[in-house]
Structure 1
Amino acid sequence: MMKKVIALFVFIGIASSLSSCDLDDGQNFQFTTLRVVEAKMPEFFELNRTYDIEVTYERHNGCVFFEGFDVTKTGDTDRDVVVIGTEIIDENTACTLAIQESTAVLRFNVIFTGEYHFRFYAGNDNEDNATYIEYTVPVN
């Protein structure tokens, strides 16, 4: 019984010392969507194969880095694809303002027959509506 009481006090002491630390929890980055310029799609897919789709996107400054893809399944064979980046927002970091095109690979597994419809986010128009580059790829 005495060992349990001592263990409890040790645990409480450690927990209270950790909670009293002053940690800097300020973020120096934010997530951002990146504009797709093009995607290199095959002429057709074959069922049960995995494809590497090259997606060209724009980094709007030198402090933006590729993070990954957000792929939303909007139907059995319909996909909305958004390129996600992280942008450093630390005021002590100098960022180039040049827009750069970069390429990333989207791995895609074909599991349905018919046609796949892809919509890649291409930015917003003048009225702030999302625009897309669309591709349709048949499955042989």
Structure 2
Amino acid sequence: MKRAFLFFFVIGLAVLAASCSIDDDQTNFKYTTLKTVNASLPDTFELGRVYKVDVNLLRPDDCTYSETFDVRRSFTDSTNIRTVAAIGIVLDEGPCEAVNDSIQDSFQFEVIYSNPYVFQFYTGDDENGEPEFLEIEVPVKHRR
């Protein structure tokens, strides 16, 4: 009985898998980097806490939505640097209308180092194609 059930189960899975079709020639979306308008961070962090970081982003058209954040870390001797880029998704829905709206999104950030943090939020490229950043430094205090 178990063999018969297993046989029919495997056959059913094979039929189900064969009936699904993935069209690789058609892409429904693409990723893009969104520009940061401003960000809201506390005046100080407390070591060991998790904070919600609110970020206002520029939405260039009605086909673009905020998807996630790419937060990269680097260090100097006395500072923790976080470079933040908002990743958007552009849906392939035909013609898109320019809206230039500011939308808000957020990410969670855990404070694990006692040195100050410097956040560098991507705001776009300058006339030479070099990235520009909004820089915000937040000192860290210890819990009592």
Could you state the TM-score of these two structures normalised by the residue count of structure 1? Answer: 0.81
Give every structure 1 segment of 4 or more consecutive aligned residues whose post-TM-superposition deviation is greater than 4 Å. Answer: 17-22
When the two chains are superposed, the root-mean-square deviation of aligned CA atoms in Å is 2.6
> How far apart are the structure 1 equivalents of 2:110 and 2:97?
37
What is the identity percentage for the equivalent residue pairs of Structure 1 and Structure 2? 34
Greater share of residues in strand: 2
Q: Which residue of 1 aligns with 2:83?
A: 80
- Where do 5+ consecutive residues of structure 1 fail to align? 1-6
Superposed CA deviations along residues 65-106 of structure 1, whole A, max 9, x for unmatched, are 110100011227211000001001243xx4221111011112
Residue of structure 2 equivalent to 1:42: 42
Matched residue, 2:57: 57
Distance of 1:109 and 1:117 partners within structure 2: 14
Q: Shift in Å at residue 20 of structure 1?
A: 9.6
How far apart, in 2, do the equivalents of 1:21 and 1:47 lie? 50
Distance in 1 (CA, whole Å) between partners of 2:108 and 2:22 is 38
TM-score by length of 2: 0.79
Q: Is 1:120 equivalent to 2:121 in the alignment? A: yes
